[in-house]
């Protein structure tokens, strides 16, 4: 994989509580936080349900309600030690619940009853985890490859490539962490970020005034810093999750 060298140590600088950290609090009874997470992730649920149903889903659709309930179930049954992220697990749960609904609707149309017995219900979570490995292989890997391609395309306007970054990535951890710190500063500063996007150049003079690093040091890692900014500012959730999980 060509990506891990790029962001080694990047999440050490994150001050925001991760979704997985919030899940621990929710599972311990924080209902207010549960409602906040469900509200915040409605767009994700809608996008996931729409992808599975292969059509745009509205809030009023039954499928969206199924997805919302499934997301809630995923939160309550999530175990990080299983190795999958919450969003990956949630997509599996949503997919299974929607398939159940489709099957139920089809059987009802044929005037057949669809009653899940107690054994099926009790085994539902276990079966969901069993489906995880196959799901990740068939879907997540494919999506990551697509995002890697999109990321490589995003680098082109800055005259950057994976090969070049592999050659110029900081070799020492201190230099790498300093570069990542600068990248986060640029990504969080609207003026600097706008200048980078418009001129395709790092605002080194402005950065130099704000941090205790020489211009030569910043210039040496310029391409690496730009590449990290692009990844942080882009829509690459699978790719970022992969990198986080590989640390």
Token pair belonging to 66: 């199924």
Q: What is the mean pLDDT of residues 155-167?
A: 85
Higher pLDDT, 62 or 242: 62
Q: Percent of the chain having pLDDT more than 90?
A: 28
Mean pLDDT of the chain: 79
d(CA 219, CA 56): 46
CB 185 within 8 Å of CB 207: yes
Q: Which residue in the block uniquely carries the two structure tokens 């009653």?
A: 115
Rg (CA), the chain: 22
Report domain extents, the chain. Answer: 15-156, 160-246
Quote the pLDDT of residue 189. 92
Q: What is the pTM of this model?
A: 0.47
Q: What is the mean pLDDT of residues 17-32?
A: 86
CB 23 within 8 Å of CB 33: no
On the question of pLDDT at 193 being above 80, the answer is yes
Higher pLDDT, 147 or 34: 34
Tens digits of residue pLDDT in 74-117 = 999 888 877 778 888 899 899 988 888 888 877 776 654 444 44
On the question of pLDDT at 232 being above 80, the answer is yes
């Amino acid at each position: 994989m060509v990506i891990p060298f790029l962001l080694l140590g990047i999440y050490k600088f994150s001050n925001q509580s991760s979704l997985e950290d919030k899940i621990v609090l929710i599972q311990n009874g924080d209902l207010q936080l549960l409602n906040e997470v469900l509200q915040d992730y409605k767009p994700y649920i809608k996008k996931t349900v729409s992808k599975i149903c292969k059509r745009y889903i509205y809030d009023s659709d039954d499928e969206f309600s199924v997805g919302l309930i499934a997301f809630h179930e995923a939160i309550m049954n999530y175990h990080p030690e299983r190795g999958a992220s919450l969003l990956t697990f949630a997509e599996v749960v949503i997919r299974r619940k929607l398939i159940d609904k489709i099957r139920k609707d089809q059987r009802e149309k044929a005037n057949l009853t669809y009653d899940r017995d107690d054994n099926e219900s009790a085994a539902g979570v276990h079966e969901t985890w069993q489906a995880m490995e196959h799901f990740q292989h068939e879907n997540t890997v494919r999506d990551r490859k697509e995002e890697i391609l999109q990321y490589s395309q995003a680098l082109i306007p800055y005259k950057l490539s994976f090969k070049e970054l592999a050659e110029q990535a900081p070799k020492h951890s201190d230099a790498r962490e300093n570069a990542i710190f600068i990248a986060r500063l640029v990504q969080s500063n609207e003026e600097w970020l706008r200048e980078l996007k418009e001129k395709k150049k790092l605002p080194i003079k402005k950065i130099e005034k704000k941090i205790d690093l020489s211009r030569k040091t910043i210039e040496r890692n310029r391409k690496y810093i730009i590449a990290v900014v692009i990844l942080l500012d882009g829509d690459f959730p699978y790719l970022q999750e992969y990198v986080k999980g590989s640390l």
